[in-house]
Amino acid sequence: MTPSLAATVVAAVTLAALLWWGERTASARARWALKPATSALFLLVAFLQGPGSAYDVWIVAGLALCAVGDVALISRERSWFLTGLVAFLLGHAAYIAAFSQRTSLAAPDPLAVALVAATGLGIFLYLRPRVGRMLVPVVAYMVVISVMLAAAWTVAVAEPGVSGRRLLLAAVLFYLSDITVARDRFVTGPRFLNRLVGLPLYYSAQFLFAFSIGG
């Protein structure tokens, strides 16, 4: 790891810890200052990796869209939540496009499809009574993130080395972090426990995606 990359990672960990504390104290100022800054750092890691291939470009696009989603979800307003939902949905679509550069997704791993579909159905049944008018966008989002996870799994099967496992881990962490976002929005309300678990999962996923560039 180069000195600039190492410094960026240290800065990211520091900012994420400060954001974690800001969530603990329910500081809106901390959210508005630190979430965009932390997201900017995973983008910086991506560019420091030297993106060049089609895979790299799609990953950078996904990271950028997720950064937009990060900022949109700071607000609790429904319109901002929908904006964030669309940004993250497009981010997942960009990751799927990136994975398609690594292996064919025409025949995804059957075990991946079965497990992801069963998990997604369980989460849908859990959220269904709580989402109200948001049913259609939530279902659309769940479908896309499920495809993203199954696609990452398919890449990991095709590439059984470190790079494939890293992508699968990133996708799993992202999926789990989104469960905490759904709980925060539709089930428990804005509770620190959701952020306590979700923030480390989410940022770990994005930095793993960023570090997959140039590999």
The tens digit of pLDDT for each residue in 2-59 reads 888 889 889 988 998 888 888 877 778 888 899 999 999 999 999 999 899 999 999 9
From residue 28, alpha-carbon distances to 19, 88, 183 in Å are: 10, 21, 20
Averaged pLDDT, 111-129 = 93
Tokens of 157: 């099967």
Contact 91, 65 (CB under 8 A): yes
What is the per-residue pLDDT for 145? 97
Mean pLDDT (the chain, rounded): 91
Count of domains for the chain: 1
Q: How many CB atoms lie within 10 A of CB 168?
A: 21
Quote the domain boundaries for residue 104: 3-211
Q: How many CB atoms lie within 10 A of CB 107?
A: 9
Phi, psi (deg, nearest 5) at residue 202: -65, -50
In this predicted structure, the answer to whether residue 112 has a pLDDT above a threshold of 70 is yes
Provide the percentage of residues in the chain whose pLDDT is more than 90.
66
From residue 188, alpha-carbon distances to 25, 130, 175, 185, 194 in Å are: 17, 10, 18, 7, 9
What type of residue is 144?
A: V
Provide the percentage of residues in the chain whose pLDDT is more than 70.
98
